[in-house]
Structure 1
Amino acid sequence: MGRKSIRIPNIERMQLTDIGNKGKAVGRYNERVVFVTGGVPGDVVDVQVTKKRRNYLEGKVINIHTSSPDRVKAKCQQFGVCGGCKWQNLDYAKQLEYKEKEVRVNLKKIGHVTPEKFHTILGSRQQYMYRNKLEFSFTNNKWLTQEQLDSGKEFSERRGAGFHIPGFWDKVLDIDICHLQPDPSNAIRNFVRDWAIERDLPFFHARSQEGWLRTMMIRVASTKEVLVLIQFKTELKAEREALLADIDKVFPQITTLQYVINEKQNDTIYDQEVITYSGPGFIEEAMPKYSEQGELRFKIGPKSFYQTNPLQAYELYKVALDMADIQEDDLVFDLYTGIGTIALFMAEKAKEVVGIELVPEAIVNAKLNAANNGIDNAIFYDGDMKDVFNADFIAKHGKPNILVTDPPREGMHGDVVQLLLDLEIAKIVYVSCNSATQARDIGLLAEKYTVRQSRAVDMFPQTHHVENVVQLVLKA
């Protein structure tokens, strides 16, 4: 006979003391750590336990007895339901403090290193409306909040457009206003949703895989150019053409309008044909050069990776370039180069920059961006990093004086780390969006490298995510 689960009652008057896993507040109950959604360190709260594990509990705030001095009023009416901005209730100065703490703790506990110099975290000038890209999902069964359920009202219209509820791949919260992306983002999303509802057109249902209107991507560049891509599950030609024509008419600020007919089960467009309805098929993002003499311009299509906070991306790259301290005779390698943003940013200082990236389309864009910016000392290669970046590659291009690496969240492959140790490059600058895997890799590199500097950069205000830049110098 199976052992019965012991129900833990609500925890009353818990003192929250810190920030822990995935940005959740932390308290203690019967010598077990409790990760609390909706809490702020300094709060005294009642907690409903939602998950039990051997060594910890998870829960959510159901009542606040004493508010932390660091608690602020959330800007968004969807806060607490939408999973996009989980720190809106935390003072921004404290957000920065906890992000910097995460980086320091990970380097020490995971990497077993302490940089010679920790620079103060670089905060974002914009705490809202900073994203240049958002992706919305359409649904025929929108999520009803507890407030809506308690109202006793009947909600016969269940179509909506917004973000997925955290932990539910098939649940979407309908949104009228999102404070993450500048205009005309909200107006475009609401127009498309309302247009389709007025014509009684079917929205996508994730479980049954039925419906027509599926997802929408909106990119808004700092140049004010706007790209919109709508993903349909099936082709309803007359309805599609009518919708796209009306979008084009109502929003002249949209410079590229595209669509995809995606009949497969997942929403990813990277293996799909993107069809351009109007415009050149891309937008241009502008970034000042490091010297601040002129600017770089980057062509960005629907499949391109580009930092989603463009103003802060410039600050991030400045930090990286300051740590690289490139001289005019230096050969620089840029691993995981994407569309070449960091490589082209460094090119004005270096003799030559060599970029490597997994995604072939990104390298096509990197080469175009180099040509369009008149940069002839940057070359790019595509392929899996562990396969391309090897001894033969070094024999062909030479050993770099400086290497910059900006890997995905998983960090660098072990073979890449080993090659870096074997090459003994004079200086490495490690840019990361995951300080845990960065610390792991740096712990391995510490065998031959001194960790000189570290600086966190906040690219994602109102969330627990943080970028970090570390300078490593070869030991004498």
Structure 2
Amino acid sequence: MARKEKRDDVFVEIEIETLGFEGVAIGRHDGKVILCKGALPGERVLVRLLKNHKKHVDAEVVELRSTSNDRRTPPCPHFGVCGGCTWQHLAEDRQSEWKRQHVIDAFERLGRIPFGEMTSLRSPEKTYGYRNKMEFSFGASAWLTREEIHSGEEFTTSFALGLHVPGRFDKVRNITSCLLHADAADRILSHTHALAAEYRISAHNQRSHVGFARHLLLRSSATTGSILTALITTTPSSDAEIAFVNAWMNQATDLPEGSTLIHAVSNSRSPVAIGSIEKSVGPGYLEEVSHGVTYRISPFSFFQTNTFHLPILVGEALDGADIRAEDVVWDLYCGTGTLSLPAARRSHRVIGAELVQSSIDDARANAERNSITNVDFHTVDLHAPAAIDVLKSWQQPDVVIVDPPRNGMHPQVVAHLLSVAAPTIVYVSCNPATQARDCAVLHEAYDVVRVTPVDMFPQTWHVESVAILKRRVGQ
């Protein structure tokens, strides 16, 4: 039954039936689909209706009327606010089941194509403290919960350092520790908070584009324990700002051996956490080892964020590729060579393409450091029309590996892969929905013979998926 408290507030009680893409809880009321966050299947919840769409209504949970046996108490005080660990309240064995189901749903409901074996999800041993990279933002507008607003306590809202609230680019939740990254990274985050308060530093306002402090990047090595951290600001213009940067850079002696501190400057309007390096203490990069390959990782290069579980992901991709010693392999969206370099040790030649120049620089350095000579890396924007001419100049591949960003492959890349007609395509994806979409196009000539979900992001709804595609005989 629906009830009203304010003129614009409508509340209904629903039973949650299932979990959908991006972890959203799904129920129904009067034949209408209701979507909300934070609830679990089998629970009865009171929700406030927020926005009416053609096929569903967005809502927020106001009260749990009954709870699921799968519910647990989240260990993080920021759960439900910062937008990071959206499934901390769901038992880990059930997280695994739902992630696998979401991959199945992507291929059956979105891609609408047949697939062969859907393996069990490859779960990690380490479910907290696994992230090797976190990006925290400074903000000029701190987010407060309803409880904090009505508590009567006074809060400073003109400065925050933490994570963005979902759906609000201008609102940041103050966070001094995070359960997902290394303990040493927590110390830097907390120390940065203290220094910013001591020197009365202003946070960058994403609306007006004024303010000094912008981002705090924290990277850690699971192999060495070293930390790479970058403080990104606008150009310092006051004595306090200069003193703050110098004080922040002076914490190098308190970090693990081999660590790096960087001050970078960005005066751009872009919210991306990247800048021009002005000061640096330490080697300037991290090292990780996976599949017998040592990787150099620069401050702003892409590298899989869960090093502990990375060997499982790489192993699934390479074993599925079934690479022979005489094979030529393409690795599109290759990053720093996470897949390219192990593949090179199994093949005749690997050719990699990546947009980010720093990642290509790292990939080349990684190849040299590991004495891998049968791999070529190219800086290519695969979404630009000119990319196809570049790909046409490459040697015909026997295996193509793709690991695109969340948006998936550009349509021109998918179309070109159909014309290239490699016998095997290995599609690694952090978004099963776009993976299934692209595989549906490739289904014109390829069969999806196996899909393996890999849980690289425990406590969240995110899941990696490795799909093995084989070209049909006669196509």
Q: TM over 0.5, yes or no?
A: yes
Q: Which residue of 1 aligns with 2:430?
A: 433
Q: Spell out the pairing of 1:256-271 with structure 2 (5 A cutoff).
A: 256-270=260-274
Give the distance between the partners of 2:233 and 2:42, measured in 1 at CA. Answer: 47
Task: Give the one of 283, 299, 304 matched to 2:286.
Answer: 283
Equivalent pair of 2:138/2:203 in contact (CA under 8 Å): yes
Q: What is the TM-score with the length of structure 1 in the denominator?
A: 0.92
Equivalent pair of 1:233/1:262 in contact (CA under 8 Å): yes
Equivalent pair of 1:336/1:358 in contact (CA under 8 Å): yes
Matched, 1:384 2:387: no
Q: Which residue of 2 aligns with 1:292?
A: none
- Aligned amino acid, residue 283 of structure 1: L
Using the TM superposition, give the Cα deviation of residue 269 of structure 1 relative to its aligned residue in structure 2, in angstroms. 4.7
Q: Which residue of 1 aligns with 2:414?
A: 417
Equivalent pair of 2:203/2:211 in contact (CA under 8 Å): yes
- Aligned amino acid, residue 470 of structure 2: V
Q: Which residue of 2 aligns with 1:88?
A: 88
Q: Structure 1 residues 350-359 or 106-115, which shifts more?
A: 106-115
Change (3 A) 1:63 1:362: same
Give the distance between the partners of 1:450 and 1:160, measured in 2 at CA. Answer: 50
Give the distance between the partners of 2:249 and 2:19, measured in 1 at CA. Answer: 48
Equivalent pair of 2:206/2:271 in contact (CA under 8 Å): no
Give the distance between the partners of 1:230 and 1:254, measured in 2 at CA. Answer: 18
Percent of aligned pairs with the same amino acid? 34
Change (3 A) 1:445 1:228: same
Give the distance between the partners of 1:391 and 1:174, measured in 2 at CA. Answer: 48
Q: Deviation string for 1:132-186 (max 9, x for gaps)? A: 0001112344222222222212225753311111111111111122111011111
- Aligned amino acid, residue 137 of structure 1: S
Q: What is the TM-score with the length of structure 2 in the denominator?
A: 0.92
Q: Spell out the pairing of 1:394-405 with structure 2 (5 A cutoff).
A: 394=392, 396-405=393-402
Equivalent pair of 2:225/2:256 in contact (CA under 8 Å): no
Q: Which residue of 2 aligns with 1:35?
A: 35
Q: Deviation string for 1:8-62 (max 9, x for gaps)? A: 62112x2111012421111001111111111111111111112222221111221
Q: Which residue of 1 aligns with 2:183?
A: 183
- Aligned amino acid, residue 11 of structure 2: N
Equivalent pair of 2:177/2:189 in contact (CA under 8 Å): no
- Aligned amino acid, residue 233 of structure 1: T
Q: Which residue of 2 aligns with 1:339?
A: 336
Q: Structure 1 residues 53-62 or 369-378, which shifts more?
A: 53-62
Change (3 A) 1:246 1:364: closer
Matched, 1:114 2:114: yes
Change (3 A) 1:108 1:299: same
Q: Which residue of 1 aligns with 2:225?
A: 224
Equivalent pair of 2:252/2:260 in contact (CA under 8 Å): no
Using the TM superposition, give the Cα deviation of residue 110 of structure 1 relative to its aligned residue in structure 2, in angstroms. 2.4
Give the distance between the partners of 2:169 and 2:282, measured in 1 at CA. Answer: 33
Equivalent pair of 1:39/1:60 in contact (CA under 8 Å): no
Change (3 A) 1:80 1:382: same
Change (3 A) 1:112 1:461: same
- Aligned amino acid, residue 176 of structure 1: T
Q: Which residue of 1 aligns with 2:306?
A: 309
Change (3 A) 1:168 1:393: closer
Equivalent pair of 1:406/1:432 in contact (CA under 8 Å): yes
Give the distance between the partners of 2:151 and 2:419, measured in 1 at CA. Answer: 66
Tell me the secondary structure at the aligned position of residue 49 of structure 2: strand
Equivalent pair of 1:256/1:276 in contact (CA under 8 Å): no
Change (3 A) 1:349 1:50: same
- Aligned amino acid, residue 109 of structure 1: R
Question: Please, which runs of 5 or more residues in structure 2 have no aligned partner?
Answer: 1-5
Give the distance between the partners of 1:472 and 1:466, measured in 2 at CA. Answer: 19
Give the distance between the partners of 2:262 and 2:21, measured in 1 at CA. Answer: 38
Question: Please, which runs of 5 or more residues in structure 1 have no aligned partner?
Answer: 290-294
Q: Which residue of 1 aligns with 2:455?
A: 458
Q: Deviation string for 1:358-403 (max 9, x for gaps)? A: 2222212211110011101111112122656647744x54311111
Give the distance between the partners of 1:455 and 1:321, measured in 2 at CA. Answer: 12
Q: Which residue of 1 aligns with 2:318?
A: 321
Using the TM superposition, give the Cα deviation of residue 245 of structure 1 relative to its aligned residue in structure 2, in angstroms. 4.0
Matched, 1:348 2:353: no
Q: Deviation string for 1:224-250 (max 9, x for gaps)? A: 111010011231463145323432244
- Aligned amino acid, residue 275 of structure 1: E
Change (3 A) 1:206 1:27: same
Tell me the secondary structure at the aligned position of residue 404 of structure 1: strand
